[in-house]
Amino acid sequence: MTNGNKVSNYLSLVKFSHTIFAMPFAFVGYFLAINEGYQLNWLTLLLIVLCMVFARNAAMSFNRYADREIDGKNPRTALREIPAGIIKPGSALRFVLLNCVAFIVTTALINPLVLCLAPVALLVVLGYSLTKRFTSLCHFILGLGLSLAPIGAFLAVAGRFEWLPVIFSFIVLCWTGGFDIIYAMQDEHFDKSQNLKSMPASLGGKRALWLSSIVHALCVLLVIVAGFEGHFRTLYWIGAAVYTVLLIWQHLLVKPNDLSRVNLAFGTVNGIASVIFATFTIADMLIG
């Protein structure tokens, strides 16, 4: 196997393209601090990006390692890298440890507060992989992990907490929890057969989709709260409107008896929503 193939296998293992979900919100957190009067520092921004990449690599590769036997039993996931034998479990675990160390070292280069909080962040993002075994709230633990992006980036610059980046973190939590419930619809019957916990397995597909809609409605409410709390202007509200429309659209794409467009709703729509909302939010701060 060539080095190029090895790299592509690991990129596939961690679904590197899905970094697009939380990364834009890390940029929002960074520019929230800049908007508070802190100096623009490209090195700090680079370190934030590296932290995001290392933390996500660790989380996703640990998820694949922890779920390797479950994935092997599920027809939808049986061809993933570990159950398919493309990447050995030991190699995946070493990749987890390598990224955890890289994450800790990178946080140490930012500031002492971020370094102190780094083990807590790793506990959340790695611990998520085990939660499906005992709680249907696993979707929101995933949301909690991704929600660290805006507040973590803000702390990297400001070294202190403020309400506005915390509100953006709650936006990410609700947004992620809602779309992960939609994604889990694919495994409703498999999860039940394996006694795994998820909202679709616990509530049934129809009620799980209703819960997802409620959570996304709360997400939109938090977007409005953030708009007023941050005294944002026109560009923010345009981005918020587009973001809301895209959230609604993904719920129109998925039905309890028709999951053919789940990947479109999960990957494409949410990726576009994240980039557009973050871009307009940052533009509003920079132009205003």
pLDDT in tens, 97-112: 999 999 999 999 999 9
As a whole number, mean pLDDT of residues 47-76 equals 94
Residue 3: pLDDT band by 50, 70, 90 thresholds?
low
What was the pLDDT predicted at 5? Answer: 64
The pLDDT of residue 4 is 53
Q: How confident is the model at residue 141 (pLDDT cuts 50, 70, 90)?
A: very high
Distance CA 283, CA 240 (A): 13
The pLDDT of residue 17 is 63
- Flag whether pLDDT at 232 surpasses 70: yes
Token couple for 188? 């409703």
Residue 187 CB contacts under 8 Å (≥ 6 apart), including other chains: 74, 76, 196, 198, 200, 201
Measured distance CA(170)–CA(227) in Å, rounded: 14
Q: Which helix (H) or strand (E) holds 282?
A: helix 270-287
pLDDT band at 263 (very low <50, low <70, confident <90, very high): confident
List of residues 6+ apart from 16 with CB closer than 8 A = 57
Give the pLDDT confidence score for residue 160 in this predicted structure. Answer: 92
Q: Could you give phi then psi for residue 261, rounded to 5 degrees? A: -115, 20
Please give the mean pLDDT across all residues of the chain. Answer: 93
86 Cβ neighbours under 8 A, 6+ residues apart: 9
Residue-level pLDDT at 18: 66
User: Which residues does residue 258 pair with via DSSP β-bridges, in sequence order?
Assistant: 255
pLDDT at 13 over 80: no
Confidence of residue 258 (pLDDT cuts 50, 70, 90): confident
Percent share of the chain, pLDDT over 90 = 84
The whole domain housing 196 covers 3-287
Q: What is the predicted pLDDT for the residue at 56? A: 93
Question: Domain count of the chain?
Answer: 1
- How much is the average pLDDT of 242-266? 90
Write out pLDDT tens, residues 166-200: 999 999 999 999 999 999 999 999 999 999 999 99
The answer, yes or no, to whether residue 138 has pLDDT greater than 90, is: yes
Could you tell me which of 197, 194, 204 has the C-alpha nearest to residue 131?
197
Q: How far apart are CA 226 and CA 244, in angstroms?
A: 14
- Supply the CATH number for residue 188's domain: 1.10.357.140
